[in-house]
Every structure is written in C-alpha cells, then in structure tokens.
Amino acid sequence: MRIATWNINSITARLPRLLAWLESSGTDVLCLQETKCTAEQFPRDELRELGYEAAVHATGRWNGVALVSRVGLEDVVEGLPGGPDYEGVHEPRSVSATCGPVRLWSVYVPNGREVGHPHYAYKLQWFEALRAAVAEDAAGPRPFAVLGDFNVAPADEDVWDLSVFEGQTHVTEPERAALAALRGTGLTDVVPRPLKYDHPFTYWDYRQLGFPKNRGMRIDLVYGNEPFAKAVGDAYVDREERKGKGASDHAPVVVDLEV
C-alpha cells in the first residue's frame, strides 16, 4: 500500500500535474494540503475517473486539506476536534479518515508568521489540540499516521542553513517542543534521515533559486504509530515532482506499507 503527503499549493493550478503524478506513482492514498479552493471546487470528477474518492475540508482561497483514496474512505472527520479558532474563524486544516487497513490524518499546521505574532500563539495552541485529538488512535492497535505540512523543521539539519533561520519560526524551541509532544503520544518519524541523498528536504522557496541551490527545509512529515512504523517498507521524497514549470514549492513524501 502506497501512502503519500503533498502540499499542492493550489489544486486548481496543479491539477494536471496531480493527475499525472497519481497515475505514474501508483499511490493508493494521498494526503493533500493547501488546496486553496472550496469543497465545491475540488476536482472530484477528475479524480473519480482515475478511481479515487476524496474527503475534503476546504472553504475558499486559503488553506484547505483533503484525503484522496482508491482503497476506501470511512469515518471521515472534517476539522480538528477541540481545535482553536484564529480571529473567529475555524480554519480548514485537518481531515481524517480510515482508508483500508489504516487510519490517516492530513494536516496543515499554521505557519506562525513570526515569533510573537498572534498566529504563532495560535500555531502552538493548534499543535496542542492536535496532540490531544490523536492520542487515542496513536496508542491503538491499528496502523495510524498523521501526515502533512507541519511547518516545523524537527532538527537543525532539516534546514539548509540554520543561521538564516535564527530567531524565525519553524525552528524555535517551542515549536519543536510541540512537535516532540505530538511524537510523545506514541508516534515516530517513519521517513529515515538520510534517505538516498544527504538532505531530504521537502520544501524549497520559489525565490532566489531555492530549489536549484537546494536551499530547502524538511517540514512535510509522516508520523506513524508502532503498527504503522513496523509496516513501512520504504520511504522517499519525490524531488522530481518539484522540478519544472508549474511545480508546487513542496515535493511529495511517499511511504510504502506492507499491509
């Protein structure tokens, strides 16, 4: 069973690439983030032609998450139970479902903007709500994973130059502590480091030749419980999908399960 996560950075802009990638990669379940569309605008028909159904939590131009599956979608939960609002809005940043033998969450953690900003406090609150919401599934006997854009680099080596990020979000101690607390529910990072290359980054800024110069970050993660982790046969970042005209600024992260 092949599972992947991908911050698509607008499913409308990236639809031809998405459909081609699903066909070529043989992915069974894809967790999407930053769909940037309403639920009504989501391309269900095009995906259905390839044999996929979708669980979508999206409300408009920003944010938006989805689970796209060809092995079933059951017990769908839209939104983060107990999650905080930001400026009175409950943003569409989480959707979960049972896909065949596994339970999966697709999450798009708030960016945080800058240290001290209200969005930074919101990010930490959101992480705490996520930790509480997944604790039961994480400790259970069924393969379970939280996948998505976490907007945190877990370790110093997960950014191309730590000095560039000094004092900024994505690398601060409170953010990394929140990520560690999430792992503390019984989850582990199932994508090994290093992979087939020295720096398995998943995001590269469009500006200043970020991708050609490999000035990236590893912020797209797959955290699985023990039954999920034991079933992992392979994992990789599909850097090829970050290349070329019209690419997202994130690459898909792919995990193969022997289930």
CB within 8 A of 254, min separation 6: which ones? 2, 3, 4, 25, 27, 235, 236, 237, 238
34 is in an annotated binding site: yes
7 is in an annotated binding site: yes
220 is in an annotated binding site: no
28 is in an annotated binding site: no
Which of these is catalytic: 28, 137, 149, 220? 149
Report how far residue 104's alpha carbon sits from residue 76's, in angstroms, rounded to the nearest whole number: 10
Give Cα 141 to chain centroid, integer Å.
Answer: 23
Query: By three-state DSSP, how is residue 32 classified?
Result: strand
Which of these is catalytic: 28, 158, 250, 256? 250
Per the annotation, the verdict on 108 as an active-site residue is: yes
CB-based contact 248:35 (threshold 8 Å): no
Please give the structure tokens belonging to residue 239: 């850097």
170 is in an annotated binding site: no
Handedness of CA 8, 139, 122, 216 (dihedral sign): negative
How many other C-beta atoms are found inside a 10 Å radius of the C-beta of residue 59? 14
Beta bridge partners of 250: 203
9 is in an annotated binding site: no
Q: Which secondary-structure segment (H or E) carries 218?
A: none
Per the annotation, the verdict on 85 as an active-site residue is: no
Which of these is catalytic: 28, 57, 108, 220? 108
Report how far residue 56's alpha carbon sits from residue 41's, in angstroms, rounded to the nearest whole number: 10
| Residue 215 φ then ψ, to 5° | -95, 80
CB-based contact 79:112 (threshold 8 Å): no
In angstroms, the first-to-last Cα distance of the chain is: 7
Per the annotation, the verdict on 236 as an active-site residue is: no
Q: Which residues are annotated as a binding site for Mg(2+)?
A: 7, 34, 149, 151, 249-250
Active-site amino acid positions: 108, 149, 250
Q: Which residues are annotated as a binding site?
A: 7, 34, 149, 151, 249-250
